[in-house]
Amino acid sequence: MSQHDRSTAQQPDAALPEGACLTAGIPDTTVSRLGAIVLNPYGIAPLTALIRDGGQTLRDARVRVLGRGEHGVDIHYPVSDKALWTHGGIPVFGLYPEHRNEVEVAYTLGGERIRERYTLYAPAVRLPAVASQQAALPQVEPVQVDAALKQRLYLFNHLLTELPGVNRQLKWNAQGGAAEWDSVGINWITDSQGEVRWYLDIERLHDSTRIDGLGASMGFQQTADGKLIWGQGQRYFKHDLLGRPVWERRLPGKFADFSHEIRQTAKGTYLLRVGSSDYRRDDGKQVRSVRDQIIELDESGEVVDFWDLGRILDPYRAQLLHTLGKAAVLLPEDVRAGDSLAANEALEGDGLPFGDVPGVGIGRNWAHVNSIAHDPVDDGIIVSARHQGVVKIGRDKQVKWILAAPQGWRAGLQDKVLTPVDAQGQPLAQDAQGRYAGGFDWSWTQHTAWLSGKGTLTVFDNGWGRDFAPTRLEGNYSRAVEYRIDEARGTVEQLWEYGKERGDDWYSPITSVVEYRADSDTQLIYSASVSYLTREKLTRPVLSEVKYGTQEVLAEYRVTSLQPGNVGYRALVIDLDRAF
């Protein structure tokens, strides 16, 4: 086995231009087997590199990026032959910014197993100019990390809502819509030491001056083939972790205004939360609908099905809307919310404008769908409509069940509301205040109603508007909660909850996620908007991994946003074994 050492010819502190080919300094005693090194080869992932194959056919490669310092975390992963041939070399992921990274690669060439070592300098993190220059990214501080979770990589999806230059004037026409809901996505990956190992150069994708360029980058998921998918306003994307685009597409013409959720189904199709670009209501008005359409696309981008929630649910149910102000949906300061949410048709007219304002009726933000899950058992979907509840809908567009407080549902939907039961299947008693025995509670203005793979449903219960109460600045709590639903009997049992006892210090009125991780048998929980209601708007999210079915925290990270308006949306685990 031969050993080859290569290092960049740059000085240790020299910043190397993004995308530039670097000539390696090769010791006289060795012969280079590979070609040039390219930093940030696809222009949007500055902490990546490509070691070109030099015109040769490589196989069976592995990469290790060595950790920095005494407690640094090594990043290592296999590279498939398919990825070697696609990129024309060895993809390098996980470089530390503003650091001379030591990278080891191994590969087979012509029957010989070869190992080489490189020194690659990656530049400092560069993000859009901000009002406060204290830090480019939120700080991620590990509080505790179980040994079994030390190799974790976490992707954080944040939204920067107070950014100079964001165009609040660019809106759809009088028909309404959600184009005015613009913010900049801040998206990065850290290791278990909280060190930045990847980030997305959002300025390559976001431009507030163009309809196709505005919108928040949201809904990041890692697909079955290891790629990343997300959406932003009028477009949606699929890239690999090196930044190579698989597709970057505009939404189909019948639809507009993506945000919050894009998910791959077990069938390989994609579910996206959008609005309608042109919707004719029963009263004849044509509007752009807001956050109330689900579309299913195939790999080529064609629409194979869609769910119009305005026809399936009740766009005039206003019980939760009474408790919510414009801050609940991150609306810009110059967008007016309705002063009254009184009675159905009384709101039609000049009193409450169409557009992305919380209010009843199609053309306003009556549903605010923020997550979708696909049930492969019956091909149905589970929708978290923040302003209504969690609903399962069949392929026939019929409601199967509703997980939400029973107040206000119209005839035909009222009997779909699930009945809370105990472990023996007996209905739970209620006290004089309407609270259920055994600690059961509905989820209020919830996020991420997802299937766990254990036959249960996990939900992040934000708790804003709990029990239809007005907003309070203290005395609140959020929960991660797991339910078991019996569709045949129309019942729901609460199996587990976490976070209630942590109170205001863990309370996230908006955003957030809980997702069961089968690889570690943990619940990944990101309480993503802690301290959002404070005057400073400097959020302090908390990322936790909790042992399944218990209160035992195996890993926890405190995230500190040093920019006003930097709000966490979600976090997820990145699996490198299937990335390349």
User: Taking the mean position of all CA atoms in its chain, how far away is CA 98?
Assistant: 27
CB distance 63 to 80 below 8 Å: no
Distance, CA of 154 to CA of 220 (rounded, Å): 12
SS3 at position 202: helix
Beta-carbon contacts of residue 82 (< 8 Å; ≥ 6 apart): none
CB distance 37 to 22 below 8 Å: yes
Lookup result for tokens 């480019």: 136
From 258, 267, 270, select the one nearest 369 (Cα to Cα): 258
From 452, 439, 390, 446, select the one nearest 416 (Cα to Cα): 390
DSSP 8-state assignment for residue 470: P
Q: Is 447 a catalytic residue?
A: yes
Q: Which helix (H) or strand (E) holds 255?
A: strand 255-256
DSSP 8-state assignment for residue 358: S
Assigned token pair, 173: 């026409």
Q: How many residues does the chain have?
A: 580
CB distance 261 to 219 below 8 Å: yes
CB distance 328 to 510 below 8 Å: yes
Among 87, 158, 239, 447, which one carries the catalytic annotation? 447
Catalytic residue ranges = 447
